[in-house]
Structure 1
Amino acid sequence: MGKLGKRLTAAREAFEGKENLSVDEAVALVKANANAKFDETVEISMNLGIDPRHADQMVRGTVTLPAGTGKTVRVAVFARGAKADEAKEAGADIVGAEDLMETIQGGKIEFDRCIATPDMMPIVGRLGKVLGPRNLMPNPKVGTVTMDVKEAVEAAKGGQVQFKAEKKGIVQAGIGKASFDADKLAENVRAFVDAVSKAKPSGAKGTYMKKVTLTSTMGPGVTVDVVDATGN
């Protein structure tokens, strides 16, 4: 293994021996050590006491972060007629029907969120193998299959984050940029944790929220005190 760079070595030393910090302490530590030449994303990872292979233990949902994500979200909408016009007026980046399906089938996926009106789902359904693995498949449970296209597009553009538990019961998301004020990042962390807490499935047994970790794109991670993060 090659030598660690000076920046990463210094960051690891700063994090050494620190764990289960309060949200404010964890945010301050991550921000102070996000020294890459670009504005790093602050990311949260939550280990949950669930087995997502069981339908009654799946965790998924959306949350609108109070301070936004700091990321420009590109939105594609499957719609026709008046709803297509509504999507364009709301700021959708790509709007289409069969033509959009063919573009995606051709391997061109230039969007971060996909929304569809219900009547478009027979077309969108053909893209399951392409959009599904990328977590881009429209789903009524998270508000991306809807007739209210305007609200869905504006939510996606306004800091809404989708979350879904991975196979090992881990939920991950970007919750802001290292350049954000510390109090804004802390506010986003608490909002995200609260949303995941409220999404606790009926089949979850024992400890639901096992571990919460904060990191930046290029930095080490630090665990956050679960009690402080949940406000309990």
Structure 2
Amino acid sequence: MPVIFVTGATSGFGAATARRFATEGWKVIATGRRADRLDALKAEFPEGVIHTAQLDLTDRDSIVAAVAALPEDFKPVDCLFNNGGLALGTKAIPDVDLEDWDRMIDTNIKGLVHTTLELLPLLEAAGKGASIVNVGSVAWRWAYPGGNVYGGTKAFVHQFSQNLRTDLGGKDIRVTTLEPGMSKTEFTMVRTHGDAEANESFYDGVDPIRPDDIADIVWYLATLPPHLNISVLEVTPVQQVAGRPEIHRH
């Protein structure tokens, strides 16, 4: 039975993807910081389908410990879904919070790198068809006010994924950067430090990407014929397009 390792499985894309793969007959390693949500997810499925591991992507030791403690029947790992990440703050430079910047760098960059390195031996053991799906964002190339460090971290995800794919050439491990646009999850609530009204109003009049949409795409990527690799997949709502250049006149 194939196995997927999901970071950020307590909400949004991660939770939806964990459910999709568990429903399709895969074993799921669901990880995240909120143990109560992991327990609730595990309880939705028969015993032995989901293994949970509480970890913090900003703490390398917790990543190492979670991987080291994986049960033998959840090895090897056929797909790594590097989904855990966040945006914090909406203000433009220089009116920013450095703690927010540091947390985004620690989570979106360091967390992704450390998780990938720990999982690589288990992915190699899975053999041909193993996949890494890294969640990026259209924000890596569509700059917008307040996007600053968040967009920078997603530019790192894009470039790291391309170099990872190059370094893993010949090892039968596929690497994809999945780059969503406007998506309705807890993303904006986290970004605004808990402003539920902002989270709802942001999506007024828009039919955004939903977590189940991303779960469907990850399923597609993980179950492609093993000789195929999709390097980059950008997905947006039909209503979202790249903006025209803004001119500031004096």
TM-score computed with the length of structure 1 as normaliser? 0.27
Greater fraction strand: 1
* Bigger Rg, structure 1 or 2: 1
